[in-house]
Amino acid sequence: MKVSLSTKWNITKYTSGIDIIKEIKALGFDCIELGANSTKKQVEDIITLYDAQKIEVSSVHNICPVVEEEGKQHIEIGDRIASLDEEERRLAVAYSKKTIEVAKRVNAKVVVIHLGQVDIPMTYQLILSQMVKEGSSNNTSFAMLRTYLQEERKRNAKGHLGAIRRSIEELIPCLSEGMKIGLENRYWYHEIPSHEEVRMLLDKYSDHVGYWHDTGHAHVLEVYGLYKKGELIHAFGDRLIGVHLHDAINAGDHIGVGKGDVDFSSLHQYMQEDVIRVFEYNPNVTAEDVVKGKNRMKQMDII
């Protein structure tokens, strides 16, 4: 069983990958997920530690390393493999291939990928999020706005799905034997994949892709009323290859396990031995809460 801590938690604290790993190992983790947007130096440091057998890497999160140009980091390009702009889509695929190369160097079994988004305005989702925070999610206005968002997404999704299929088919030949692409459920409703899109992609590319479940993202969409409680994990748990473990309160996620409202018990029946477990936290989660979250998941027999 692989139990990892994502470098997302402390990647902004250190320029050195050696320091990142030192802190993670001090908390009792001998395995990591190499987080998205790691710098080239951090990645090279961690590869050096891997080569010296001082750390294991369960998974790598696209894009890794981050795209750096003229002193600026372009972190959004990884979410554009569904872009209708062909030049933008090809660039996203090119950088995703570099992530796969990093995964090969550390023998990671999964490359976790965000599939992008349907191009609709963020305005509606931001309003829904604010209404959730204000406790107004049970009124008629919220329901009407949610329905409008669902209809807008459906109207605009088709072209993006074609772009995703092209992108995945360009990435599959780059995978090493036994490596898979993890299709992660997302935070915003306009992001891909939806329930139906997960099923379509898993059915079409079953030999090379699997479902990667993010507990916080799923909870947020349940709070919006866009999914029923446990809908995603119950639908795709039999194709689960990995999970991002973190908690959430209303529309806020990536907090310490046990600090929010996520029902982790729904995971239990799907957590086979080969499913990768990754704690994925925001940097403001304390080291103490990282350890407490790990202990809580042990008590629940999730890890």
Structure tokens at 125: 């989702």
Domain boundary among 131, 156, 181: 156
Q: Let me know whether 113 and 123 are in one domain.
A: no
Domain boundary among 129, 156, 183: 156
At residue 73, does pLDDT exceed 60? no
pLDDT for position 71: 52
Nearest to 103 by CA among 30, 178, 53: 178
Average pLDDT score over residue span 278-285: 98
Q: Let me know whether 170 and 234 are in one domain.
A: yes
* Domain total of the chain: 2
Q: Let me know whether 144 and 271 are in one domain.
A: no
Q: Let me know whether 283 and 147 are in one domain.
A: no
Q: Residues 6-30: pLDDT tens digits?
A: 999 999 999 999 999 999 999 999 9
pLDDT for position 7: 98
Residue type, 302: I
pLDDT for position 111: 98
Q: Let me know whether 125 and 179 are in one domain.
A: no
Which CATH number fits the domain that encloses residue 196? 3.20.20.150
Q: Let me know whether 148 and 49 are in one domain.
A: no
Q: What are the DSSP E strand ranges found in 140-260?
A: 180-184, 209-214, 240-245, 247-249, 252-255
| DSSP annotation of 256 | P
Q: Residues 205-253: pLDDT tens digits?
A: 999 999 999 999 999 999 988 899 999 999 999 999 999 999 999 888 9
Longest Cα separation, the chain: 59
Q: Let me know whether 26 and 78 are in one domain.
A: yes
Q: Let me know whether 67 and 199 are in one domain.
A: yes
* Residue 294 region by backbone torsions, left for phi larger than 0, else alpha for psi between -120 and 50, else beta: alpha
Nearest to 240 by CA among 187, 172, 182: 182
pLDDT for position 134: 85
The CB density around residue 62, as the number of other CB atoms within 10 Å, is: 28
At residue 92, does pLDDT exceed 80? yes
Q: Residues 147-187: pLDDT tens digits?
A: 998 999 999 998 999 999 999 999 999 999 999 999 999 99
Q: Let me know whether 246 and 133 are in one domain.
A: no
pLDDT for position 75: 57
Q: Let me know whether 99 and 150 are in one domain.
A: no
Domain boundary among 156, 180, 206: 156
Q: Let me know whether 136 and 279 are in one domain.
A: no
Nearest to 183 by CA among 162, 159, 164: 164
Structure tokens at 108: 């990671």
Q: Let me know whether 165 and 129 are in one domain.
A: no
Average pLDDT score over residue span 180-207: 95
Q: pLDDT band for 102, please (50, 70, 90 cuts).
A: very high
Q: pLDDT band for 70, please (50, 70, 90 cuts).
A: low
Nearest to 50 by CA among 35, 30, 67, 64: 30
pLDDT for position 227: 92
Average pLDDT score over residue span 191-197: 94
Q: What percent of the chain stands above pLDDT 70?
A: 98
Compute the half-sphere exposure of residue 149: CA atoms within 13 Å on the CB side of its CA. Answer: 23
For residue 125, the enclosing domain spans 119-156
The CB density around residue 200, as the number of other CB atoms within 10 Å, is: 15
pLDDT for position 139: 86
Q: Residues 284-295: pLDDT tens digits?
A: 999 999 999 999
At residue 44, does pLDDT exceed 80? yes
At residue 74, does pLDDT exceed 80? no
CA distance 201 to 131: 32
